[in-house]
Structure 1
């Protein structure tokens, strides 16, 4: 499709290549036509071009093509745009007066009005690049003005894109002071484009920095329907997210024309949204239409974020709009100071004698606009101002006009830096030493044959400091080192408004992006006088994680508590992390704590009870042993095999004491010793009982005729030997068990997730079963023998006591096995200790209780006759 750019490119080529027309037809070439443009010009050795919006509007020519088309006429004088053009004229005048910069070179300028129209701006750019000489003579010195070496402009991204697309083909440098579209950073498409204003990409990041600072994660975005707005929307959609500061509640494009229905729909969206922060990247006209509808619908309670396009727009700072726009935070172009500019502006005077293309039409129009007068005759292309005739001698300083207000120079400061960048680049190029230049053959550029593309090389490397103290250089994309002022719309109690600087955001080569805010100076247009909350979902605190809501933006989510054993120690965590093996999550799930260790401790009530019981049993055994030793000559003690009784009491003491090994933190030596001590002690005890039972039967048989021979096999030596042999078998079992599969401490986390149970694993279940089985075998054998001898004709029958004691012992250990298996952790140790103590007490009470009763309470029965059944009967 043949586009406007294609047509413009063709026109440019025709204009630019006029000097190479075929000599077969003519020795010169002529322009087909000239553009009638408002401009200001000054001759010089090197001429710089400039594009500024001096007028707001332009007329549209008749497109019927029944006659030669008329060119557009501009109207609606813009004082600020004119001041920008005068700033460039002042800067060039300042450079010409500076002997250290471009000595012996005089800069000139050609400044054109773009009328805020792409077509007019494009015509002006073509005129600057090709000149407007009606005829160029070939093979002779060209006559006319010097072609421009570089252009300062344009102020619009759309116009800069169109113009630099064509000028970039010939590497004509273009330094914009107000085009912010991030698309212009594409060096492939715009190889000779530079700018002294940060791109929208950084402006977007600056806004995101503000959002992050105040925790605003749920915001609305309104943009203009042009290159500027659409690129901003794409930048926000790609850069804004939970990791960067939030997400967009809605994105709306403000219509270009007068479309009140669409504006009303957009304001309805804003009212229904829960987002309290609205970002507006739009031009001034769009913002005015939007605010008219906001006032009509009385939409209050919003925090507005303004782009640099309307941050300082005075038309919106009215008492009617401040209830809605008060407290607005905005991004503004860096403010600078230009000493001497105001004095230069005061020197402007109209030229009444040169109302032509190289005259001062714009100055004359400014004078008519300022003093509401008119020149006679009216300059071409200018609508009469009406009123009195202008004399050209009016006093400019006594007129109230924002033209002379140099207290807030922002775009002017960018123009100032743009002109100086071109001047420094030209100065560096002219200081090149022949033979050491950067161009082919180590050549340098020279004043007689300067080429625009040579200046691009030096612009890339320019680096200087302005009089205001700002460092000025371009990066590889032609972008300046970015810095923005942060502005706040203050609504004073008397109804006046003030836009004040409350911070800045900048990017440095070493520190990256930095945001500085003075919160105490910020005015918030809310009853609380505090920053508003603007979130779709409140932040998830530590101990929870974000769970996305299906079909909703990323900033809308639920907070799900972390599972047991998992934590999140940051706000808005996406995932919960598991605690290390020996740690568990705190009750708040925000950090890991060491797991509680559980074992049968001496400090807990159960451990204290079992320890006390064990020591009590040991003490009773010691008391009983003392009683038996003291009364060892009495018939009761002597009749019951005192030596075995002493051994039995000692073994019972060991049984009571071995239970202490099951209490306390398991250690390797206690795990190994506890079962060995338990097994050997009980085998020793049961062996004594077994031998005692056998001796009782042997004595009974010996009392019968012919039974004396049986006693020789159960003498004292045989008794000791039998006990020792039976005990050694258990010792061998324990030794084999410990050597092959030793019991060891173990951290068990299977019983409780939040606890570590310290326990002794038996190592070999088979070894433990053999140990218990051997004890059980001896106990059953003792029980059977004692049961057979229970009816022996003795007044004091030892076999009955042994039978009863073995019955208690077996009952306890039969109940122990299932209880031990089903008890977890420390309770398994408690069950085993209880079984040891219960069986030990059973044996102690059953075997020695009746004897102690007789010795201590019924001494009259402690006689041989009573023992033989011939004494006193109870």
Structure 2
């Protein structure tokens, strides 16, 4: 086996020790590769592609000065390579090992370019590929309702592609990206970069986005923001991608260095899980140089930790004096710092995955009588790595998918700065992409320590959410997260936050005052209980009583000249029809029903036809009576009550025919008017056929106009009790009322339309009653001296034309 290391820091020594521990554990396990001992060859990549290529060729050839194409391994056979940690070095290694078809299992390379199985058919990794955290990032944004975020990344090509893809995923999920800025990565500060940094920091400070995603596959990206030129406000929450979440893995030499990274205080980060490695702690605490056959890779650690040099063949006393039990214990404690255990577990898993693949191939060869020395071609192991499936001591299932990736799951950690300036982190949640939908993300929100700038969960939106009762209207040339909140229109409502459209209420409901729900409409009709209905009903009853009193007077004084002068039968008919006219207006008041809707207009039409035809008959009777007194007049045979009754019946018959046709073809029915008054549902009678309704009104108007014309022509006939003048006035009032009724009726809605018709009925009926019968009642009751035949005859002759 071979592995690529890294810088001589505690983190990379931890990787070396866990690698060594895993090899030892496998060799001591009788169930995995029995009778076969795993060896290893370690080279340092120095996080550089050139060094990685040199180290890889040394491992492949087995000699210090490699010759490509030659293998000089004196013992054993190379099975595969473990590493490297970074994507850059892993890419360089994969290009070489792919030529020789050696499998490579990386424990830290998260770059998505390795998903390409055409270019990297022998590449595997025990860390999630970088894109697998996109859904976790998006679900985290959704959890806190952060819809307006910024993204910072490096100028690396892979980071730029990944950040663009992350931006598209955020937008696809309904969020928005306020900005996406690329920062030139550099270990050394250059003066010419200051203006660029200043421009970016000013833009971040001024942005409404309170959440910034730091996305990069470079684990040293975070250190850039701990430099003095990155001076930003504290009102930002940072979300760090998994490959960049290395702040907790950096061994700060002092608390002052850690406090320089206060920008990240209270931030959240995705991190590679820190699994448990049974026995590793005891291994570290028993660590001693004498335990290792080759001390070359321990010398830098000992030089840094204990300021002493190690050499092969050192005397035991020299080793003890160089280290000391207390110093070794302190070193083991630092190496076993759980907070810095990221990627250590994935390295441990990578070694075990390769060992399981070798064991499965060894078992398959044994069953088929193969060579127990386990000699094989490099490409043969590839198939067995694809079929690896086992559980780690921590309970995680390890297997590789078709792209060489293990199941993706992350720890979500919270970074916080202690008052003494030291930085630390703790796990506050998990993200498991393999879990069922809705259960992938878990965050213990109560455990989060936000930046002290915030007293509650931070808020990051371009526009505040539209409360129920409003709808979103996008702002021109801005992302969908920037919008205005517009109140729902009069007949619409919205009951959700950030509604894109308002909904219409059902016909029988209306939005409440806040327009966030529908409430039943108020059913409105002209009721007896309301003042208008009560007033109209009282007036109708009062005038019907007055009509009854006048009828009683006429019956009492039926033999008086005033009553007999103009056909008392027609007077009775007119008074009865007027009384019914007043009473029929009561049918228009109250809750409309099927029966009342059928009766009200028909009853009104027929009763008014009787009244108007009675007036017409009276007028014609007056004309016939005076013309029949002339010598040799042919109208004498028409004088009498038969002509007047026939005329009334004939006029009523025509109206009855119209009403029957109306009821048969399109009768009136109860209906609701939901358009006239907001929030109300007017219960009224739909006339059914508008033509039939206006035909009834028009026919009555025709009879009234005919009566007015005849009465107007007969107004100067000599007679003390001649009704022609009174009929003219009554018909003038009647026609005026109904002519003004039509525009008034058409311009009103709901119950006021009914009130207009009732008023027209009462006004026209009272006009007939007052103009025709009040003068006669005055004579009958107050001037009996005028109610004599002598007065009638005398008046006749005095006004007889010469």
TM-score (ref. length: structure 1): 0.79
2:271 match: 332
* Contact 2:474–2:482 (Cα < 8 Å) also in 1: yes
1:20 match: none
1:318 match: 255
Work out whether 1:51 is the aligned partner of 2:4. Answer: yes
Q: Secondary structure at the match of 2:43?
A: strand
2:352 match: 420
Work out whether 1:536 is the aligned partner of 2:473. Answer: no
> Partners in 2 of 1:814 and 1:220 — Cα distance?
73
Are the structure 2 counterparts of residues 547 and 191 from structure 1 closer, same or farther at C-alpha, using a change threshold of 3 Å?
farther
Q: Secondary structure at the match of 1:692?
A: helix
For each residue in 1:368-389, what CA deviation from the matched residue of structure 2 results, as whole angstroms up to 9, or x when unmatched?
A: 333211145899xxxxxxxx98
For each residue in 1:31-76, what CA deviation from the matched residue of structure 2 results, as whole angstroms up to 9, or x when unmatched?
A: xxxxxxxxxxxxxxxxx332222xx2xxxxxxxxxxxxxxxxxxxx
* Contact 1:267–1:293 (Cα < 8 Å) also in 2: no
Are the structure 2 counterparts of residues 589 and 427 from structure 1 closer, same or farther at C-alpha, using a change threshold of 3 Å?
farther
* Contact 2:718–2:795 (Cα < 8 Å) also in 1: no
Are the structure 2 counterparts of residues 791 and 502 from structure 1 closer, same or farther at C-alpha, using a change threshold of 3 Å?
same
- Note the residue ranges of structure 1 that are not aligned, 5 or more in a row: 1-47, 57-76, 380-387, 438-442
1:74 match: none
Q: CA deviation at 1:643?
A: 2.6
Match of 2:235 among 288, 301, 312: 301
2:608 match: 682
Match of 1:404 among 326, 329, 335: 335
> Partners in 2 of 1:614 and 1:606 — Cα distance?
12
> Partners in 1 of 2:680 and 2:172 — Cα distance?
37
Work out whether 1:656 is the aligned partner of 2:612. Answer: no
Match of 1:86 among 1, 8, 17: 17
* Contact 2:53–2:96 (Cα < 8 Å) also in 1: no
Work out whether 1:204 is the aligned partner of 2:154. Answer: no
* Contact 2:11–2:249 (Cα < 8 Å) also in 1: no
Structure 1 segment 396-545 matched on structure 2, within 5 A? 397-400=328-331, 403-408=334-339, 409-432=341-364, 448-511=374-437, 514-545=440-471
> Partners in 1 of 2:194 and 2:77 — Cα distance?
46
For each residue in 1:438-490, what CA deviation from the matched residue of structure 2 results, as whole angstroms up to 9, or x when unmatched?
A: xxxxx999763434444433433433322222233333322222222222223
> Partners in 1 of 2:182 and 2:724 — Cα distance?
104
Q: Secondary structure at the match of 2:80?
A: strand
> Partners in 1 of 2:93 and 2:632 — Cα distance?
140
Match of 2:303 among 346, 368, 371: 368
2:661 match: 736
Q: CA deviation at 1:645?
A: 2.2
Match of 1:230 among 153, 160, 180: 160
Q: CA deviation at 1:727?
A: 0.5
1:344 match: 283
Q: CA deviation at 1:117?
A: 1.2
1:27 match: none
> Partners in 1 of 2:309 and 2:497 — Cα distance?
68
* Contact 1:790–1:799 (Cα < 8 Å) also in 2: yes
2:30 match: 99
Are the structure 2 counterparts of residues 727 and 173 from structure 1 closer, same or farther at C-alpha, using a change threshold of 3 Å?
same
Work out whether 1:292 is the aligned partner of 2:227. Answer: yes
* Larger deviation, residues 782-791 vs 389-398: 389-398
> Partners in 2 of 1:116 and 1:681 — Cα distance?
108
Q: CA deviation at 1:391?
A: 6.6
Q: CA deviation at 1:569?
A: 4.2
* Larger deviation, residues 662-671 vs 533-542: 662-671
> Partners in 2 of 1:100 and 1:615 — Cα distance?
110
Are the structure 2 counterparts of residues 371 and 630 from structure 1 closer, same or farther at C-alpha, using a change threshold of 3 Å?
same
Match of 2:77 among 141, 147, 165: 147
> Partners in 2 of 1:770 and 1:570 — Cα distance?
52
Match of 1:215 among 145, 162, 171: 145
Q: CA deviation at 1:828?
A: 4.0
> Partners in 2 of 1:607 and 1:452 — Cα distance?
101
2:171 match: 241
Q: CA deviation at 1:548?
A: 4.2
Structure 1 segment 752-831 matched on structure 2, within 5 A? 764=689, 766-824=691-749, 826-831=751-756
Q: Secondary structure at the match of 2:430?
A: strand
- Note the residue ranges of structure 2 that are not aligned, 5 or more in a row: 797-802
Q: Secondary structure at the match of 1:144?
A: coil
2:763 match: 838
* Contact 2:269–2:414 (Cα < 8 Å) also in 1: yes
* Contact 2:619–2:711 (Cα < 8 Å) also in 1: yes
For each residue in 1:144-170, what CA deviation from the matched residue of structure 2 results, as whole angstroms up to 9, or x when unmatched?
A: 233332322111112223333443455
* Contact 2:62–2:73 (Cα < 8 Å) also in 1: no
Structure 1 segment 613-632 matched on structure 2, within 5 A? 613-632=539-558
Are the structure 2 counterparts of residues 528 and 281 from structure 1 closer, same or farther at C-alpha, using a change threshold of 3 Å?
closer
> Partners in 2 of 1:456 and 1:268 — Cα distance?
50
Structure 1 segment 596-611 matched on structure 2, within 5 A? 600=526, 604-611=530-537
Are the structure 2 counterparts of residues 691 and 398 from structure 1 closer, same or farther at C-alpha, using a change threshold of 3 Å?
closer
Work out whether 1:724 is the aligned partner of 2:659. Answer: no
Q: Secondary structure at the match of 2:433?
A: strand
Are the structure 2 counterparts of residues 123 and 728 from structure 1 closer, same or farther at C-alpha, using a change threshold of 3 Å?
same
> Partners in 2 of 1:675 and 1:372 — Cα distance?
115
> Partners in 2 of 1:581 and 1:431 — Cα distance?
76
1:276 match: 210
Equivalenced residue count is 779
* Contact 2:625–2:639 (Cα < 8 Å) also in 1: no
For each residue in 1:255-292, what CA deviation from the matched residue of structure 2 results, as whole angstroms up to 9, or x when unmatched?
A: 33533432552243223332333332354544334322
* Contact 1:747–1:756 (Cα < 8 Å) also in 2: yes
* Contact 1:229–1:281 (Cα < 8 Å) also in 2: yes
Structure 1 segment 162-201 matched on structure 2, within 5 A? 162-168=92-98, 171-201=101-131
* Contact 1:219–1:276 (Cα < 8 Å) also in 2: yes
* Larger deviation, residues 591-600 vs 627-636: 591-600
> Partners in 1 of 2:644 and 2:486 — Cα distance?
74
* Contact 1:445–1:451 (Cα < 8 Å) also in 2: no
TM-score (ref. length: structure 2): 0.85
Q: Secondary structure at the match of 2:228?
A: helix
Are the structure 2 counterparts of residues 828 and 299 from structure 1 closer, same or farther at C-alpha, using a change threshold of 3 Å?
closer
Are the structure 2 counterparts of residues 416 and 626 from structure 1 closer, same or farther at C-alpha, using a change threshold of 3 Å?
farther
Q: Secondary structure at the match of 1:149?
A: coil
* Contact 2:366–2:372 (Cα < 8 Å) also in 1: no
For each residue in 1:699-736, what CA deviation from the matched residue of structure 2 results, as whole angstroms up to 9, or x when unmatched?
A: 444555566x7455343444333211220011112223
Q: CA deviation at 1:328?
A: 2.4
When the two chains are superposed, the root-mean-square deviation of aligned CA atoms in Å is: 3.9
